[in-house]
Amino acid sequence: MQMQMQNTQKPYVSSIKRKLAKEAAKEAVKASVWRDDLYLADFAANEERTMHKQLIVLDLNGTLVHRLQKVGDTRKVVARPGLGEFLNFALENFAVMVWSSAQPASVVSMLKSGFGAHAQHLVRVWDRRFCDMEGKYFSKTKTIKDLSRITDGFDLSQSPNCNVYGTYDGYLGVYPAKQGHWKLEDIVLIDDSESKAALQKENHIFISTFA
Q: So what's the pLDDT on residue 71?
A: 67
Cβ(18)–Cβ(59) below 8 Å: no
Confidence grade of residue 40 (pLDDT, cut at 50, 70, 90): very low
Residue 187 neighbours by CB under 8 Å, 6+ apart: 54, 55, 56, 57, 147, 150, 151, 200, 203
- Class of the CATH-defined domain 35-206: alpha beta
Residue 34: per-residue pLDDT: 46
Query: With 60 as the cut, is the pLDDT of residue 156 above it?
Result: yes
Largest CA distance in the chain: 79
Give me the pLDDT at residue 163, please: 87
Residue 41's pLDDT is what? 57
pLDDT tops 90 at residue 81: yes
179 vs 100, more confident: 100
SS (H, E, C) the chain: CHHHHHHHHHHHHHHHHHHHHHHHHHHHHHHCCCCHHHCCCCHHHHHHHCCCCCEEEECCECCCEEECCCECCECCEEECCCHHHHHHHHHHHCEEEEECCCCHHHHHHHHHHHHHHHHHHCCEEECHHHCEECCCCCCCCCEECCCHHHHCCCCHHHCCCCCCCCCCCCCCCCCHHHCCCCCHHHEEEEECCCHHHCCCHHHEEECCCCC
Cβ atoms of 47 and 124 within 8 Å: the answer is yes
Binned at pLDDT 50, 70 and 90, residue 26 comes out as low
Mean per-residue pLDDT of the chain = 85
Of 3-12, 40-49, 172-181, which range is least confident?
3-12
Mean pLDDT of 191-197: 98
Report pLDDT for 169.
59
> In 10 A of CB 210, how many CB atoms?
16
